[in-house]
Amino acid sequence: MRKIFYILLCSFFYALAVQVPANAGQYAGSKAFIKTGFDHAFNSRISGTDTEIASNRYSFGGSYSYFTLSYDYTDYTWKKSGDSGLTASGRTPWTGLNRVSLGARKNFLLSREWMLSLGGGVNSAFEKEISDSLGARADFSFIRIFDNGWTSGVGVIGLYHPVKSRILPIFSLSYAPAGDLGLSARIGFPETMFRYGFNSHLAARGYVGYSATIYRLKNNSPVQDKGYFRDRAIRLGMDLEFKPFRSMSIALGPYYIVERKWEIYDKNQRRKQRERLENTPGIRMNLSWNF
């Protein structure tokens, strides 16, 4: 019963990525944007061990017309990595992980009140070799547009990865009137966001985000040869957004990671190990330009 409830909840919160009309977002009216980011997670201990892990993530992405391309690299720093239990040899499990994704989305206005949203994409997350790391998704949603800034929708999403694949329903709800001033809210998966624009240059944003990324480990990994590492967690945070120019936005703020779990799979996609990490704070900064 808990699993069914969790799946339904995640399906409802998927709306951010697929359910927002073209005139209701931060980049409304923009044909293209570029975004860079830095993210630091402070030391977090693997439960039951003396091993601590911190990480720095560097990201870069861009969008043009219907397409979005992004890349990020996560650099890990270990303390007492030999005590982690992830390797039998005591070697450091991994130091750097990569992720690249390409997506596309097209919205079709069916009438004044209804819109069809179609989306899809491919991604690859890996330590060194890219083979057997490809994932994909496809979705469609019917969206009801209301005059007062509200939208709601229903649809289906399919997710594929060699380790985990699933089909989920989509339910959505958002409030995003045109412009950057005042209150807007986007309830979606992987992130739910509430934003308040004080003026054209300053805004505050709070969010709750879920992340789950599966990385293909390198061929000679001390953890699992050609295996997989899955990192999933919930992040709660807040940002202060500053726009020095109309086309530029800078966001900076703290966050807190909870419910973080690591899972290790062998090359045949069988789960071999699960670890829980202690909650930890972090900080992030994003810079974006829209055109």
**51-60 pLDDT, tens digit each:** 999 999 999 9
Place 172 in a pLDDT band, splitting at 50, 70 and 90: confident
pTM reported for the whole predicted model: 0.86
Question: Across the chain, what does the average pLDDT equal?
Answer: 88
Distances (CA, A) of 37 to 53, 61, 206, 291: 20, 9, 17, 18
pLDDT at residue 22, as a whole number: 35
The pLDDT of residue 30: 53
**Residue 34: what pLDDT?**
96
In angstroms, the Cα distances linking 35 to 61, 66, 72, 95 are: 5, 16, 11, 25
What is the average per-residue pLDDT within 180-205?
89
- The string of DSSP codes covering 218-287 is PTT-SS-TT-EEEEEEEEEEEEEEEEEETTEEEEEEEEEEEEEEEEEE-TTS-EEEEEEE--EEEEEEEE
Q: Please compute, for residue 168, the number of CA atoms within 13 A of its CA located in the half-sphere on the CB side.
A: 23
Q: Inform me whether the pLDDT recorded for 159 exceeds 50.
A: yes
Least confident range from 83-92, 108-117, 128-137: namely 83-92
Q: Name the residue ranges covered by the structural domains of the chain.
A: 2-290
pLDDT computed for residue 223 by the predictor:
96
User: Mean pLDDT throughout 77-83?
Assistant: 92
pLDDT at 57: 98
Taking the C-alpha atoms of residue 190 and residue 124, their distance in angstroms, rounded to an integer, is 18
> At a CB cut-off of 8 Å and minimum separation 6, what does 288 contact?
33, 34, 35, 36, 248, 249, 251
Share above pLDDT 90 across residues of the chain, in percent, rounded to a whole number = 73
| Residue environment code for 61-77, b if the CB has 16+ CB neighbours within 10 A, otherwise e | bbbeeeebebebebebe
- Give the whole-angstrom CA distance, residue 286 versus residue 123: 22
pLDDT at 17 over 70: no
